[in-house]
């Protein structure tokens, strides 16, 4: 399989936007936050987490198909992809523990606070598991659509 460079480019753009946002957000005085440039950067930074999730979702079947093409069984390929998702989840928690330890005013509850890495890791685990268990294109479609439908439910207005 050939490498799809546009995926690497999108990942690179997402990383640059993420670093830019975290740097600017941390170092901008309150007076500078009311500018058009700051609000534009904040808007662009809002696309980073969804872009990472989208790219992870795209990469699961591509990486799985690549493993299968190299002779690995579908379930073994799925397990390899699931392990990567678990690694990302572990890294997310290590970041939280580090943040807690380096912050003298840190709260214990902040260690369990979810962020994009937690969501990304668990989503990769679930997607890889479902991908590895699908036996046909139809079952693959339904196995990916069903969790999405459970997560994205319409909200009923409160009375």
**Digit-coded pLDDT (tens) for 78-134:** 999 999 999 999 999 999 999 899 988 888 888 888 888 999 999 999 999 999 998
Note whether residue 153 is domain-resident.
no
| Cα distances (angstroms) measured from residue 115 to each of 1, 28, 112 | 33, 23, 9
Percent of residues, the chain, with pLDDT higher than 70: 98
Q: What is the mean pLDDT of the chain?
A: 89
Tell me, rounded to whole angstroms, the distance of Cα 142 from its chain centroid: 21
Question: Cα–Cα distance between 141 and 152 in angstroms, integer?
Answer: 16
Predicted confidence at residue 159, as pLDDT, reads 65
More confident residue, 135 or 153: 135
Number of domains in the chain: 1
Note whether residue 159 is domain-resident.
no
By residue range, what is the domain housing residue 52? 5-29+36-148
Reference 131, options 54, 67, 86; nearest CA is: 67
Predicted confidence at residue 1, as pLDDT, reads 56
Predicted confidence at residue 23, as pLDDT, reads 94
Note whether residue 158 is domain-resident.
no
Note whether residue 44 is domain-resident.
yes
Note whether residue 157 is domain-resident.
no
Tell me, rounded to whole angstroms, the distance of Cα 10 from its chain centroid: 13
Note whether residue 118 is domain-resident.
yes
Predicted confidence at residue 113, as pLDDT, reads 85
């Amino acid at each position: 399989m050939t490498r799809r460079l546009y995926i690497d480019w999108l990942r690179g753009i997402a990383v640059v936007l993420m670093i830019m946002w975290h740097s600017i957000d941390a170092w901008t005085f309150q007076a500078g936050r009311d500018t058009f440039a700051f609000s534009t950067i904040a808007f662009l930074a809002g696309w980073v987490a969804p872009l990472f999730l989208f790219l992870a979702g795209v990469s699961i079947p591509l990486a799985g198909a690549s493993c299968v093409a190299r002779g690995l069984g579908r379930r073994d390929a799925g397990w390899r992809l699931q392990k990567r998702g678990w690694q990302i989840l572990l890294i997310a928690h290590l970041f939280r523990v580090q943040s807690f330890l380096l912050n003298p005013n840190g709260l214990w509850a902040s260690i369990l606070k979810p962020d994009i890495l937690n969501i990304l890791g668990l989503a990769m685990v679930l997607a890889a598991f479902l991908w590895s268990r699908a036996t046909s294109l139809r079952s693959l479609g339904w196995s990916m659509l069903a969790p999405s439908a459970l997560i994205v439910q319409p909200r009923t207005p409160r009375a």
